């Protein structure tokens, strides 16, 4: 069990640039979540995939955010035209069923 | 919208003292999960409770789900320095989404 991996671990970008993050879930897990976490707060739900289908997306998520899971394995999260308020830790989690979530180490985004 | 609050926000205890964090949801939950996040780390699953009034123990940790399934608690007996971190509860909102609580940050003084 290699766990959930995320790349890159850190990303520094300038305001207005696009960024893309990748998440590789545990191989047999069909459920995948993306969260955003800022300092001192709990993870905030962004979106959910079951296999390749994106079944739920937070209403708080602007249209600058998009996520894909093309073959039901790895997933990508893209943020277009980044803003300073996007600076946060972006966490991916996978789950085998409707129970425990296994989190990856996260990608820390800093928007200058 | 649905909210999940935790109290206290912070707790400092002497090593060996007990610790409790409380989780309250604005709506009834079908289940509740607890996670621990070490400083600089990512959330790690501790347990899931499903039944009304359920109590589960893991060594020094005792988890409880309220009768109305709107609140939960985590109690740690005789804290150790390895218990340091932030404890989050999380409950489902709708079919797929999970809402995490505000967290309780525990510091243990040796």
For every residue of B28-80, DSSP letters joined together read --S-EEEEEE-TTS--EEEEEE-STT-EEEETTEEEEE-TTSSEEEEEESS--
Residues 6+ apart with CB under 8 A from A63: none
> Of the candidates A40, A42, A105, which has its C-beta nearest B101's C-beta?
A42
| Burial profile B25-34: b = 16 or more Cβ within 10 angstroms, e = fewer | beeebebbbb
Nearest to A78 by CA among A56, A109, A51, A38: A109
Mean pLDDT of all residues belonging to chain B: 96
Contact B48/A at CB under 8 A: yes
Nearest to A101 by CA among A45, A41, A35, A33: A33
- C-alpha–C-alpha distance, residues A12 and A14, integer Å: 7
Tens digit of pLDDT for each residue in B24-71?
999 999 999 999 999 999 999 999 999 999 999 999 999 999 999 999
Tens digit of pLDDT for each residue in A83-110?
999 999 999 999 997 679 999 999 999 9
Residue A71 has pLDDT above 90, yes or no: no
Contact A91/B at CB under 8 A: yes
**DSSP summary character for residue B84:** -
- C-alpha–C-alpha distance, residues A102 and B42, integer Å: 9
B9: how many CB neighbours lie within 10 A of its CB? 13
B107 three-class SS: strand
> Of the candidates A48, A100, A106, which has its C-beta nearest B33's C-beta?
A100
Q: How far is A45 from chain B (nearest CA, A)?
A: 7
């Amino acid at each position: 069990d290699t766990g959930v991996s995320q790349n890159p671990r850190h990303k520094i970008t300038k305001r207005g640039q696009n960024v893309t993050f990748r998440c590789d879930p545990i191989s047999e897990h069909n459920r995948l979540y993306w969260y955003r976490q800022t300092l001192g707060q709990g993870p905030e739900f962004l979106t959910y995939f079951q296999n390749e289908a994106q079944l739920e997306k937070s209403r708080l998520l602007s249209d600058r955010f998009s996520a894909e899971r093309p073959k039901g394995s790895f997933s990508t999260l893209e943020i277009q035209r980044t803003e300073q308020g996007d600076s946060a830790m972006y966490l991916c989690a996978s789950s085998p069923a409707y129970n425990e979530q296994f989190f990856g180490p996260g990608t820390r985004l800093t928007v200058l | 919208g649905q909210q999940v609050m935790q109290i206290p926000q912070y707790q400092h205890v002497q090593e060996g003292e007990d610790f409790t964090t409380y989780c309250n949801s604005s709506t009834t939950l079908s289940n509740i999960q607890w996670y621990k996040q070490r400083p600089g780390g990512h959330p790690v699953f501790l347990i899931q409770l499903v039944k009304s009034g359920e109590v589960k123990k893991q060594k020094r940790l005792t988890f409880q789900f309220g009768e109305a399934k709107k609140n939960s608690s985590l109690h740690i007996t005789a804290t150790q320095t390895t218990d340091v971190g932030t404890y989050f509860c999380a409950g489902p909102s709708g079919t797929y989404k999970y809402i995490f609580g505000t967290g309780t940050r525990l510091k243990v003084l040796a």
